[in-house]
DNA sequence: TGCCAAATAGTTAACGTACACTATTTCGAT
DNA sequence: ATCGAAATAGTGTACGTTAACTATTTGGCA
């Protein structure tokens, strides 16, 4: 039985196409790139030859010759002390660049303040003015996002959203997690780890600089799971950010609800986890989001039981490679790419730290 | 604030190096490829110029010129009705090939029977005879693996293991899961989902065609977790493969152990899951391995609670890309690449199905 | 019919590298 | 000092594509 060789015997190039169509390579290239200046008849012959011989362009040679550069603008919130989350994307960008930069793909990272529409607008202005070959962005502010999309729609420049999505717009694609499903997953998992009659608390730290759409979706998914189960669900929301206040609030809930067994933290799990004493901790399970360093420590010392990763690095990596697929390989792009919802716990955290 | 441009202004080629070292491109190329025929003095000058200017070879041009092909032999067990697991790798191989085949990397898939050393030996003979530029293999049989390694060690041909590892050999690298840690993870998760005093059953279907080293490691990790916890652990092993026998065996254990709450299935979870009635199922949790279609169905209908994925597609994909890194990019390769231990349940299975 | 612009087709020079081939230099032996 | 082989350095072509440039054909109009 002969081994399954995956190589094509003899690669056919534009020369072979030209020969088969009885023309020189000039018109072939024109047809391939829709550059016009080819009579209808020969155009047909060339297209037929391409079909017959199964031409696949040699991207190496193509790239070598036309050293056209593609610059992707990356519109991403600034990582801060409070929200270090956005730092994680960088390793993904770097990794992707290693693979695609030989093909002339560069990125310009344009950061903005997540709670400051003016700073976002400034970046959009910049992007519109400078003219990029692709936009990879977190669509935080609706109106400005629309403005950007409208400008680039006519230019046929790919705009891909990541992290959070605004459905129904003219962006080429979205890459990220399904927030609602992640909430549903958290509920499913929490349900497994507490007793049938235990109560559940949904907690969150609300900050103006956060992306509320995503958080609502998480909660919605979570509640969907428990709909009609008779499970008692409590709610705690802090918008002070003050440790004392949070601590008191949580303690009060604990005292008032002896049957509390699970906590689902929509956002700011480090703050919530800090508000709980180890003595209290042994009585409930806590699940939340984001594999940032602080949370990883809390997971390791047992203050948090489960984290759901949004895989920022992977979003960044795959996102940039989507531009490579689209711009260089001319592959079709799906309207959305949902990354797996990874469940991370103490026993497998080390395998998720650097990816 | 200017955007962080990641592009290099002007790429340095061998021409620039030659100029700086006061030679023509000929000797530069000779130095770059250690082809000799260069005097020590000019060699030094050239190396210095390379260092000074920070030369990075243009892999596109390089590849275009020398259309040297690399063929990787993939030694992988044959997928069968009983063990469809090995089918999953194919999509990973295909995906990887799409990216690396422009660089001249091909693969030859050589399958063997997992429980038949002779068939393995045949493939090893083939590999030794035909001469490959890289070997990607599951080292199922020790002696033959050694034989292969010894032959290729002198030739400096990269041999990478995947799926299961034999430590301490001269292979370049390993990519796969850490089986022991996966067992530990399963224990940790199961511990979360059952009550403090529940008993646990470790079950497995032993078949001669299986990889026992991996299974032992899983069990070892599992037991490590429960060491000194006082948890009562039972054991069920079937080596008949007969449905009736398994069913009876499992039933007997259920009857004899009313406190049984969790089942860890080392291998053959579909068989074990089938042996349990829905009525019994609601009293325990079941965790096991392999995202094969049969198991996915069982997960969906609730017969299985958790599956740990070995990510065969990712192993295949990343493995082939390792050869690309090594052969084309000349990047250093780590001795092992452990993939994340993914926890899959009903609520997130759909995100794991096609990757 | 002849002329000329427009349309179409053909030619060629790179892109950066690899490597075979040719040219030059070095240096020991006479 | 001269010759010539060995060692070293330089040259040129090709890889497949792109796109500018040149050559040819077409066809409308006087």
Q: What is the mean predicted confidence (pLDDT) over A140-152? A: 95
> Does the pLDDT of residue A263 top 60, yes or no?
yes
Contacts 24+ apart (CB under 8 A), B156-162: B157/B132, B157/B133, B158/B134, B158/B323, B158/B326, B158/B327, B158/B333, B159/B134, B159/B135, B160/B134, B160/B135, B160/B136, B160/B319, B160/B322, B160/B323, B160/B333, B161/B137, B162/B136, B162/B137, B162/B138, B162/B315, B162/B316, B162/B319
Instruction: Specify which residues B135 forms β-bridges with.
Output: B73, B159
List of B residues 15-44 with CB within 7 A of strand C: 15, 25-26, 29, 32-33, 35
- Strands B4-5, A105-112: pairing is antiparallel
Q: Which among B212, B229, B231 is positioned nearest to B220, based on CA atoms?
A: B212
> Does the pLDDT of residue B7 top 70, yes or no?
no
The answer to whether A131 contacts chain B (CB < 8 Å) is no
Residue A355 pLDDT grade (very low, low, confident, very high; cuts 50, 70, 90):
low
Q: What is the DSSP string of B19-38?
A: HHTTS-HHHHHHHHTT----
Give pLDDT tens digits for B56-109: 999 999 999 987 899 999 999 999 888 889 999 999 999 999 999 999 999 999
Q: Which among B115, B288, B271, B276 is positioned nearest to B207, based on CA atoms?
A: B115
Name the residue facing A188 among B342, B346, B355 (closest C-beta): B346
Average pLDDT score over chain A = 91
Please give the model's pTM, rounded to 2 decimal places. 0.90
Task: Give the model's pLDDT for residue B355.
Answer: 56
Å between B64 CA and D13 C1'?
A: 14
The answer to whether B64 contacts chain A (CB < 8 Å) is yes
> Does the pLDDT of residue A2 top 80, yes or no?
no
Rounded alpha-carbon distances, angstroms, from residue A250 to A235, A255, B166: 10, 9, 50
Give pLDDT tens digits for A203-226: 999 887 777 888 999 999 999 999
Task: Give the model's pLDDT for residue A74.
Answer: 98
Name the residue facing B4 among A108, A192, A351 (closest C-beta): A108
Strand D proximal to A69 Cβ, under 7 A: no
What are the boundaries of each domain within chain B? Answer: 14-57, 70-176+312-339, 179-309
> Does the pLDDT of residue B207 top 90, yes or no?
no
Task: Give the model's pLDDT for residue B205.
Answer: 92
Per DSSP, A14 falls in state H
Residue numbers of B between 97 and 126 with CB closer than 8 Å to A: 97, 99, 101-103, 106-110, 126
Task: Give the model's pLDDT for residue A5.
Answer: 38
For the ranges A24-33, A81-90, A115-124, B308-317, the lowest mean pLDDT is seen at A81-90
Give pLDDT tens digits for A278-331: 777 778 899 999 999 999 999 999 999 999 999 999 999 999 999 999 999 889
For the ranges B64-68, B168-172, B189-193, B321-325, the lowest mean pLDDT is seen at B64-68
Return the residue matching tokens 């007969």.
B242
Same fold, B70-176+312-339 and B179-309: yes
Measured in angstroms, the CA of A210 and the nearest CA of chain B are apart by 24
Residue B277 pLDDT grade (very low, low, confident, very high; cuts 50, 70, 90):
confident
> What is the CATH topology of the domain spanning B14-57?
434 Repressor (Amino-terminal Domain) (1.10.260)
> Does the pLDDT of residue B185 top 70, yes or no?
yes
Name the residue facing A193 among B69, B192, B341 (closest C-beta): B192
> Does the pLDDT of residue A8 top 70, yes or no?
no
Share of chain A above pLDDT 90, in %: 81
Task: Give the model's pLDDT for residue A83.
Answer: 83
> Does the pLDDT of residue A51 top 90, yes or no?
yes
CATH 3.30.465.10 fits A179-309, yes or no: no
Average pLDDT score over chain B = 91
Give pLDDT tens digits for A153-206: 888 899 999 999 999 999 999 999 999 999 999 999 999 999 998 999 999 998
Contact indicator for B344, B316 with CB cutoff of 8 Å? no
Residue B10 pLDDT grade (very low, low, confident, very high; cuts 50, 70, 90):
low
| Nearest-nucleotide field for A39 (CA, C1') | C8
Task: Give the model's pLDDT for residue B354.
Answer: 65
Q: What is the mean predicted confidence (pLDDT) over B246-263? A: 91
Closest-approach residue (CA) in chain B for A57: B102
Task: Give the model's pLDDT for residue B275.
Answer: 86
In angstroms, rounded to a whole number, what is the distance separating the alpha carbons of residues B145 and B137?
A: 9
Among A192, A198, A309, pick the best mutation site for testing chain B contact (most B Cβ within 10 A).
Answer: A192
In angstroms, rounded to a whole number, what is the distance separating the alpha carbons of residues B219 and B214?
A: 9
Task: Give the model's pLDDT for residue A201.
Answer: 96
Q: What is the mean predicted confidence (pLDDT) over B141-154? A: 94
Share of chain A above pLDDT 70, in %: 96
CATH 3.40.50.720 fits B70-176+312-339, yes or no: no
Q: What is the mean predicted confidence (pLDDT) over A337-349? A: 96
In angstroms, rounded to a whole number, what is the distance separating the alpha carbons of residues A320 and A94?
A: 10
């Amino acid at each position: 039985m002969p081994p399954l060789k995956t190589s094509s015997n003899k690669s056919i190039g534009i020369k072979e196409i030209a020969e088969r169509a009885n023309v020189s390579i000039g018109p072939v290239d024109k047809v391939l790139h829709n550059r016009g200046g080819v009579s209808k008849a020969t155009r047909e012959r060339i297209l037929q030859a391409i079909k017959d011989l199964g031409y696949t362009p040699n991207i190496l040679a193509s790239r070598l010759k036309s050293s056209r550069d593609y610059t992707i603008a990356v519109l991403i919130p600034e990582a801060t002390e409070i929200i270090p989350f956005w730092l994680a994307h960088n390793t993904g960008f770097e990794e992707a660049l290693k693979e695609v930069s030989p093909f002339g793909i560069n990125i310009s990272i344009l950061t903005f303040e997540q709670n400051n529409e003016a700073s976002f607008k400034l970046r959009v202005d910049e992007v519109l003015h400078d003219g990029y070959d692709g936009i990879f962005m977190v669509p935080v502010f609706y109106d400005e996002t629309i403005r950007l999309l409208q400008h680039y729609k006519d230019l046929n420049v790919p705009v891909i959203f990541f992290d959070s999505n605004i459905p129904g717009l003219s962006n080429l694609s979205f890459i990220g997690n399904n927030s609602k499903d992640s909430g549903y997953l958290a509920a499913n998992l929490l349900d497994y780890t507490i007793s049938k009659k235990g109560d559940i608390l949904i907690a969150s730290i609300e900050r103006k600089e956060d992306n509320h759409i995503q958080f609502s979706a998480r909660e919605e998914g979570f509640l969907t799971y428990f709909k009609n189960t008779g499970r008692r669900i409590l709610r705690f929301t802090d918008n002070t950010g003050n440790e004392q206040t949070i601590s008191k609030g949580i303690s009060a809930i604990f005292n008032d609800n002896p049957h509390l067994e699970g906590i689902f933290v929509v956002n700011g799990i480090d703050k919530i986890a800090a508000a709980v004493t180890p003595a209290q901790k042994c009585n409930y399970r806590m699940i939340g989001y984001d594999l940032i360093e602080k949370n990883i420590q809390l997971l390791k010392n047992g203050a948090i039981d489960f984290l759901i990763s949004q895989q920022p690095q992977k979003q960044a990596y795959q996102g940039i490679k989507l531009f490579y697929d689209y711009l260089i390989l001319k592959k079709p792009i799906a309207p959305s790419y949902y990354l797996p919802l990874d469940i991370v716990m103490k026993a497998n955290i080390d395998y998720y730290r650097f990816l």
